[in-house]
Structure 1
Amino acid sequence: MFTSVTLQDWENLVKKQLKTDDIYAILSKENLEGITVKPYYDKSSENIKNLPRVEESMHLVAKYQEGLEDDAYAFLLHNNVENLTEKSLFIANKDLAEHIRLSSENKYFSLIDVFENNEINKQLVEELLSKNFKRNICVDASLYQNAGASITQQLAFALGKAKDLAEVFGAEILDKLVFKFAVGANYFFEIGKIRAFKLLFNQLSKEFNLDLIPYIFTETSLRNKAKNDEENNLIRSTLEIAAAMIAGSDAVFANDFKVQNSTELSEEISFKQQVVLAYESIINVFEDAANGSYYVEEITQQFAQNAWKLFLELENSGGFVENFKSGKIAEMIYNQAIAEQNWVEEGKIKLIGVNLYPKLEKTKSVEQLYNSKEIKAVRLAEMFE
């Protein structure tokens, strides 16, 4: 039998080891997300039920190349490919979606964002909805992560886009959506992000008298990658894929770890990161592998609460599209991105081979990298390249 140990017993032991009574001042870490992280946990404030995914088997998605036809069962397509059978095909090109010849032996998913020029492209939505796709419309939140948005902002913007679509095309469109997220470097926070969105979308669907699970496509981030640091990029993207899998994504995709001079080999290696994780660790098998972790449960709840609050604020000022038109969305992302870039410059966020081992000289200013009126992907390392 183990002796019963209280939280106070643990705190006393930590105080003794650290030789201080103020352990929280030493162990607590600041973050840009506004999330309270405790040094250790003895319980979660609320137990979250198991968060399922839509797909029974997680899709490991490869960028199409002929040599991977036997190894991959899901492909990201930018151009038409004939004679594919029993594959899940993610269509990333608007022209391809219009002209692709569908086969009953494949499953088709749209990764085409229908928000264009500050508006919903209604004609494009109607065209995509007429296709015999398993999921017809993409709500793309990946750009926001790559542009420097906070996790709370990414979640609220994705939810706001879904709400705007439901108001225009009816609640039934919610069951035809693919939500595309980019997963970044903060491992546990990114797990919490994907899990929080499942709670948020389910809550939104209930506002329309539905009870839906979101279909989530995740890809590795570009934000923390460096041109001259390919091996480190590979390590970073592996951890990002692992976070996406543990969080219970329906499909995962690894962008090429080479920021420039991409080759078929580098694309294949990027895909096979997923294969190694799936078949060596089987983390893709579980719907919600993080369920029951006090830490992950706590940050999941905080992200869900903060994002729902921001979502309601945007709704009260007209919804996503109206706030996008006014420039408020771009300004919010800009302010967050500047804060993150400053942390990189100050060394609070460490990028091996960029601002640590070796420490490179700054070549671009914040003003050269960012524009408060434009949402664009910016890699943190660009300041030093």
Structure 2
Amino acid sequence: MSIQMKNIQFPSASYDEWKEQAVKALKGKPFESLFTKTIEGVTLEPLYTEEMLADKLGDYLEKQISTIRSLKDSDGFKVAQQVYGENASQFFTLLQESIERGNDCITIDSRVPFHWDEDNLSRLANCLKENSFKIYIENENDPILGVFDKINEPSVKGFIVSSEPTDLDTFNNVRTIAINTVPYHHEGATAIEELAISLALASKYAEQAGGFEHVISKAFVNFAIDTQFFSEIAKLRAFKVLWKAFSKAFNVDRLAAVPILAETSLRSYTKADPYVNLLRAGNEAFAGLIGGADYFTVHPHDCLTKPTGKSIRIARNVSLVLKEESYVENVLDASGGSYFIETLTAEYVEKAWELFLDIEKAGGIDAYSQSGKLQTKLDNLFQSRLKAVETRKHSLIGTNIYANPADDVLAETNPQFAQIKRLAITFEQLRVNYKKTEPKIAILTYGKLKDFKPRADFVEGFLATVGVVPEKSGEITSLDAAKEWLERADYGYVIIAAKDEDAKLLVPSLLEHKPENLLVDVAGKFKDEREIWLSNGLNGFIFAGQNIVEKLTEVHESLKGVQQ
């Protein structure tokens, strides 16, 4: 049997043949409906082939792949677990525990709930002498920097993440020029902006240092990795290609790899249903591993509120499991040669380089920021992301879809991440508001179960996003029964769920008999009936593609007014 299998050959199919079958499967929908336009302005095709890749990149493909594979700073994927603690004693206990359990790079945000006094700095110094580290500081006067006065070994290795370079030149292996794109990421930047900004920051620091050689020896880049799996892989790969082009502009003879640090994005993290953050973290860490990050920090799933020993351990183990069980670490550039990834990488390189040149023409990153162009761009991008979530064009599992109405939004906030612009915030605020007012809401289900169930389920999921579990009338099969139920219904808000032809008969009659203060919506668009129904007392409609936050905010305000 095995010999026979080896001799079997499957016929190859051309792109045109595949397209022909795809068009048939679409049953009248245009083939172009399979193309996806991303927020970066890149159009994703439904299928990528070797011929398409060769046509787009030609001889450049080999150069792209060789550049990516040669610019790996480390020989692996190192775990950079952040250390937390409510006091100094707990902090240092957890720090030591993290080292013993697989933490390769001690990661510390200097904004801890205790003081960096002489004793704590001495204890920290002893740890940093033996382990590599990544330290987030607020500025060059940050108290934690006093730890370097207590370290007499210039061979210590680590990274200082700050908004401006830090003067620690006596420590040759401590990289202090942080090309940190994470703040821009959380403001809404796409992969294109992050890549362009990384080069613009490097250009700025080279000018400040009086040359690029100092930047090469002291710089590192820090990226946030979001849930768009393939996009994030391509982003990290594209950076290496861009870094080579950037270095050539400074006439660098011997190109050196710059360390790539990365962390899970908090833009998509949520306070309600925080365990979904575990799925996001795993997806993002795996993208970082495949994309070639040298150090990776997984933020605990409850880091927005209060990380626990358990959540910190789980976060660390996400990276450890990926390292040990995926075997990706044993492969150089695991996604290299993928028609899709290579094409996307090249697209990002082209678009990011173009934006970088625009920033430089504007006078550099500082001038570009001061002009307001950068913030306007980031604000527009964030609003586009927010709108996509609020209309369900982008799924935020557990928040705008498949939400658990029993979840609570914890009031506690971790001050380290309090200022992050997250996509779930508007849903969380609405959930809190609905819990305070506890309005009585029901679905009037008309007809047989098979007729109303799809729309009733949609409405139930719609309301679940703000923590509401509506009551349901059950099968109502006559107009008189529907009128009677509505007249005696003790609710503030009722949504009618019925198939189109039933709703067109039911709604006008019910509007004549509904209690004065009762808000009534209907599930569906009903474009032809819209104006007359609204003029006769219908509150509105619930339908797919609607802005959930806007709709349920309006409903809440109306219900609050009625209750008052």
- Name the TM-score, length of structure 2 as normaliser: 0.61
Q: Is the 8 A contact 1:86 1:105 kept in 2?
A: no
Pairing partner for 2:41 from 14, 19, 34: 34
Which sits farther off after the overlay, 180-189 or 212-221? 212-221
Question: How many Å apart are 1:99 and its aligned residue?
Answer: 2.8
Letter of the 1:111 counterpart = I
- 1:112 maps to 161
Question: How many Å apart are 1:274 and its aligned residue?
Answer: 0.3
- 1:369 maps to none
Which sits farther off after the overlay, 1-10 or 222-231? 1-10
- 1:129 maps to 169
Letter of the 1:108 counterpart = K
Q: Secondary structure at the match of 2:65?
A: coil
Pairing partner for 2:98 from 40, 50, 68: 68
Which sits farther off after the overlay, 174-183 or 285-294? 285-294
Verify: 1:250 aligned to 2:294, yes or no. Answer: yes
Gaps of at least 5 residues in structure 2 are 1-8, 84-94, 111-120, 406-418, 429-564
- 1:154 maps to 194
Q: Secondary structure at the match of 1:75?
A: strand
- 2:24 maps to 16
Pairing partner for 1:55 from 74, 79, 85: 74
Which sits farther off after the overlay, 175-184 or 53-62? 53-62
Q: Give, in whole Å, the separation in 2 of the partners of 1:56 and 1:172.
A: 23
Q: Give, in whole Å, the separation in 2 of the partners of 1:102 and 1:20.
A: 71
Question: How many Å apart are 1:67 and its aligned residue?
Answer: 1.4
- 1:119 maps to none
Q: Secondary structure at the match of 2:223?
A: strand
Q: Deviations over 1:168-194 (max 9, x none)?
A: 211112312110110001110111111
Q: Give, in whole Å, the separation in 2 of the partners of 1:153 and 1:268.
A: 33
Verify: 1:308 aligned to 2:353, yes or no. Answer: yes
Q: Is the 8 A contact 1:155 1:193 kept in 2?
A: yes
1:1-385 → structure 2 map (5 Å cutoff): 1-20=9-28, 22-25=30-33, 27-43=34-50, 44=53, 45-46=56-57, 47=61, 48-50=64-66, 51-52=68-69, 53-64=72-83, 65-71=95-101, 72-78=103-109, 80=121, 81-84=124-127, 86-93=130-137, 94-100=142-148, 101-102=150-151, 104=153, 107-115=156-164, 125=166, 127-169=167-209, 170-175=211-216, 176-210=218-252, 211-258=255-302, 259-358=304-403, 377-385=420-428
Q: Give, in whole Å, the separation in 1 of the partners of 2:309 and 2:152.
A: 26
Describe the shift of the 1:286–1:114 C-alpha distance in structure 2 as closer, same or farther (beyond 3 A).
same
- 1:371 maps to none
Q: Give, in whole Å, the separation in 2 of the partners of 1:336 and 1:183.
A: 17
Q: Deviations over 1:321-349 (max 9, x none)?
A: 11122222212111111111111111111
Q: Deviations over 1:283-309 (max 9, x none)?
A: 233331111011111111111111110
Question: How many Å apart are 1:30 and its aligned residue?
Answer: 2.9
- 2:514 maps to none
Q: Higher RCO, 1 or 2 (CA under 8 Å, sep at least 6)? A: 1
Describe the shift of the 1:106–1:278 C-alpha distance in structure 2 as closer, same or farther (beyond 3 A).
farther
Describe the shift of the 1:377–1:147 C-alpha distance in structure 2 as closer, same or farther (beyond 3 A).
farther
Q: Secondary structure at the match of 1:351?
A: coil
Question: How many Å apart are 1:137 and its aligned residue?
Answer: 1.5
Question: How many Å apart are 1:104 and its aligned residue?
Answer: 4.5
Question: How many Å apart are 1:103 and its aligned residue?
Answer: 6.3
Q: Is the 8 A contact 1:62 1:253 kept in 2?
A: yes
Q: Give, in whole Å, the separation in 2 of the partners of 1:286 and 1:104.
A: 34
Q: Is the 8 A contact 1:138 1:180 kept in 2?
A: yes
Q: Is the 8 A contact 1:317 1:323 kept in 2?
A: yes
Letter of the 2:268 counterpart = N
Q: Is the 8 A contact 1:54 1:213 kept in 2?
A: yes
Q: Deviations over 1:101-136 (max 9, x none)?
A: 336597422232243xxxxxxxx54x1334333422
Letter of the 1:180 counterpart = N
Describe the shift of the 1:103–1:301 C-alpha distance in structure 2 as closer, same or farther (beyond 3 A).
farther
Letter of the 1:139 counterpart = I
Q: Is the 8 A contact 1:15 1:23 kept in 2?
A: yes
Describe the shift of the 1:96–1:131 C-alpha distance in structure 2 as closer, same or farther (beyond 3 A).
farther
- Name the TM-score, length of structure 1 as normaliser: 0.88
Question: How many Å apart are 1:82 and its aligned residue?
Answer: 4.4
- 1:366 maps to none
Question: How many Å apart are 1:33 and its aligned residue?
Answer: 1.2
Gaps of at least 5 residues in structure 1 are 116-123, 361-375
Q: Give, in whole Å, the separation in 2 of the partners of 1:192 and 1:345.
A: 27
Q: Which of structures 1 and 2 has the bigger CA Rg?
A: 2
Letter of the 2:75 counterpart = E
Q: Deviations over 1:31-59 (max 9, x none)?
A: 21101110001122222324131111221
Q: Secondary structure at the match of 2:157?
A: strand
Q: Secondary structure at the match of 1:163?
A: helix
Q: Give, in whole Å, the separation in 1 of the partners of 2:152 and 2:293.
A: 25
